[in-house]
Amino acid sequence: MDTFLVLILSFISIVVVNNLVLTKFLGICPFLGVSGRIDMAFGMGMAVTFVVTLSGTITWMIDHWVLMEWGLEVTRYVCFILVIAGAVQLVEMYLRKFFPTLYESFGIFLPLITTNCAILGLCLFINLWEINSLVEAVVLSFGAGVGFTLAICIMAGIRENLELSDVPAALRGAPITLITAGILTLAFMGFAGMIK
Amino acid sequence: MTKISNISKLSETFSAGLWKENPVLRLLLGMCPTLAVTAAVKPALTMSVCVIFVLTCSNIVVSLMRNLLKPHLRILMFTLTIATFVTIADLFLKAFMPEMSTKLGPYIPLIIVNCIIIGRAEACASKNGIMISIVDALGMGLGFTIALCTLASVRELLSTGKIFEFIVMPKFFVPWAAMSMPVGAFVTLGLILGLMNVITRKNA
Amino acid sequence: MSKIIYFTKQSWLLIVASFVFGLIIAVTNSALSQRIESNQTKKLFDLMGQLISGSERFSREYENVTVKTAAGKEIKTDIYKAVDSESKTTGYAFIAEGSGFADKIKLVIALDAKAEKFLGFKVLSSNETPGFGSKISEAYFSNQFIGAPAAILELTKIGSPEKIDNQIVAISGATVSSQAVADIFNTYIDTVRDKLTKGRDK
């Protein structure tokens, strides 16, 4: 029961309290790029959730069972990025073969994900927070994806309304998105300290 | 004759990165480190130096092996090269600037996925000779440095009243703590981009 | 057979590059690893020197002391000993960690030679809210711990920060961070004190 509670807490923590986009500045590029329409944003969020869960789990396993056993921590970054690139490629091939409709809807997002900082960032943070159980690592990876989807969908919802409002000419486009994101981080700061 | 045109091409490549194609302020690339490490000037500068180092090295290596690259293994080679140099930069930081290394934490390895570097490898180094690649890397790196330092000095000045850890604001200045939080990063960058828009519109 | 040739033709550059890059990393690592390790202990010893006055040399006294947190997790820490120029023990110190408001807080906590009093703490790393939680490293809060009895500490909201006892006055606006620091002290103190006093009796 206790471990279950710990898992739920770490899930909530990564989704809202330590939201990767709004408190750690990870995955800002897609956050600004594809948050124009809410269905696109949701598609991107799903794709990221998929890849981040997979790569977070695999990197944890490699880190703990191979790199730390053999004292190869120095090659950690190289291994992590190769795992992520490989995971993206695998997911792409798998989807194209077995779920062509899903592949169509993910479309251009998949190759973009390799350079999404949220994914490598999460793998590094799992290592930094010294997560010692595989289950917790899986939950954290999945939660990070959910948190990313949450943030990007909220942003897309706001931007759809923003199109109708009268924004000063100089701030149109990226600047007003950034400022909105800033105000959004203030809202998410309210969650800080919720979980100890 | 060819020499002169060479030099003018080099200087053009160099200056493009500074203003016209400034990676952060114009192309909106590499936003993660831009927002994350600019709470003060010193970490911002360290970050920029690391990025310049990695960018130059990876551009050189990619440019050297540009004729050997196979199209579908290209991206993999780029990431491998970049990850190697980032690891080296990280080791050097840990050895010679341990304080800074713990402060920047995971944002140093995150240089690997900085879109600027892989973008330059793809757009410039895999098509051009070694000289142009180096100059391009330096120009882009310097443009990145300028953007980061501008943002960092505004934020550090307003959040602590200091720049580069020297006190510059008068005594009655009340530090504006929000500027060193995430909200300060987003709003300041948004306003700087808005300012850029105003300037370019006036010139045009 | 032709398939193998095809594969090698496609990927020889990747394989060669992996070897070369691996070699470069290995060389840099072997050149710098010693320095990186000494940096870590040097920072710890610097902070210990600031906390424990008159100390000259530092050494590791106990390795892997297991401490149980309130949440039931087990953490391991090392206890270090500081001695003065006549190799008399001046105090002990250990690295302690716990969760703060936003992220993990890591402290160096120092005890006197008899393990009866705290000699204060220094923040090794923290990510508390700037302007509020970050005040835990400021003197008016951290000085309360210097000379406090090495026992369970209590956090109060009113009282005098100048009075040295086991009552710690919280920073207004940063109660959670203050509580986190006090909790970190409380998590470790019993185990560490037992270890030190037992070691002395022998």
Any idea where the domains of chain C sit in the sequence? 45-201
Q: Out of A75, A129, A193, whose CB is closest to C176? A: A193
User: CA-CA distance, B97 to B112, in Å (whole number)?
Assistant: 20
- Which of B48-57, B169-178, B192-201 has the least mean pLDDT? B169-178
Best mutation target, C8, C32, C122, to test chain B (most B CBs within 10 A)? C32
Is the pLDDT reported for residue C162 higher than 80? no
Question: Tens digits of per-residue pLDDT, B50-94?
Answer: 999 999 999 999 998 888 877 777 878 888 899 999 999 999 998
> How far is CA A66 from each of CA A59, A77, A85, A135, rounded to the nearest angstrom?
10, 14, 19, 18
**Quick one: average pLDDT of B116-129?**
85
Of A2, A18, A74, which is closest to C25 when you measure between CB atoms? A74
Q: Is residue B1 part of a domain?
A: no
CA–CA min distance B104, chain C (Å): 12
Higher-scoring residue by pLDDT: B65, C130: B65
CB nearest to C13's CB, from B65, B92, B96? B65
ipTM exceeds 0.90: no
Angstroms from B1 CA to nearest CA on chain C: 37
Model pLDDT, residue B3: 63
Which of B32, B80, B86 has the CB atom closest to A117's CB atom? B32
- Res. B1: pLDDT tops 50: no
Is B100's pLDDT higher than 90? Answer: no
- For chain A, list the contacting chains (3+ Cβ pairs, <8 Å): B, C
**Is A28 within a domain?**
no
Q: Number of structural domains, chain A? A: 1
Work out the average pLDDT over C133-158: 80
Q: For position B56, what pLDDT does the model report?
A: 94
pLDDT the model gives residue C47: 82
Q: Which residue segment(s) compose the domain that B108 sits in?
A: 13-203
Please give the Cα distance from C49 to C28 (Å, whole number). 31
Q: Which amino acid is at B144?
A: F
Q: What are the residue ranges in chain A where pLDDT is below 50?
A: none
Q: Of residues C128 and B126, which shows the higher confidence score?
A: B126
Instruction: Give the span between the Cα atoms of C38 and C33, in whole angstroms.
Output: 9
Is the Cβ pair B91, C36 closer than 8 Å?
Answer: yes
Within a domain: B6: no
Q: What is the pLDDT of residue C202?
A: 44
pTM of the entire predicted model: 0.84
Distance of alpha carbon A154 from alpha carbon A31, whole angstroms: 10
Does residue B191 have a pLDDT over 50?
A: yes
C-beta neighbour count of C156 within 10 angstroms: 10
Q: A54 in a domain, yes or no?
A: yes
| Alpha-carbon gap: B197 to the closest alpha carbon of chain C (Å) | 31
Query: CA geometry: angle at A96 spanning A95 and A100, to 5°?
Result: 90
pLDDT of residue C86: 79
For B40, the token pair is 């003060």
How much is the pLDDT for A10? 85
Q: How confident is the model at residue B49 (pLDDT cuts 50, 70, 90)?
A: very high
Nearest to A75 by CA among B88, B152, C87, B41: B88
- CB–CB of C32 and B84 under 8 A? no
The reply to whether C35 touches chain B by the CB within 8 Å rule is yes
List the domain range (segments joined by +) for residue A136.
39-165
Tens of pLDDT, residues C89-106: 888 888 888 887 777 888
Chain B residues lying within 8 Å of C129, measured CB to CB: 177, 181
| Domain assignment present for B76 | yes
Q: Is A74 on the interface with C (CB under 8 A)?
A: yes
Q: How many domains does chain B have?
A: 1
Provide the pLDDT for residue B76. 81
Whether residue A2 lies within 8 A of chain C, CB to CB, comes out as yes
User: Exposed (0-12), middle (13-18) or buried (19+): which is B146, by Cβ within 10 Å?
Assistant: middle
- C71 touches A at CB < 8 Å: yes
Query: Does any domain span residue B168?
Result: yes
C198 within 8 A of C115, measured Cβ to Cβ: no
Please, what is the end-to-end C-alpha distance for chain A in angstroms?
A: 18
In chain B, what is the straight-line distance between the N-terminal and C-terminal CA atoms, in Å?
33
Question: Are A75 and C25 inside 8 Å of each other by CB?
Answer: yes
Distance from CA of C2 to the nearest CA of A (A): 24
Which chain C residues contact residue A127 at CB under 8 A?
Answer: none
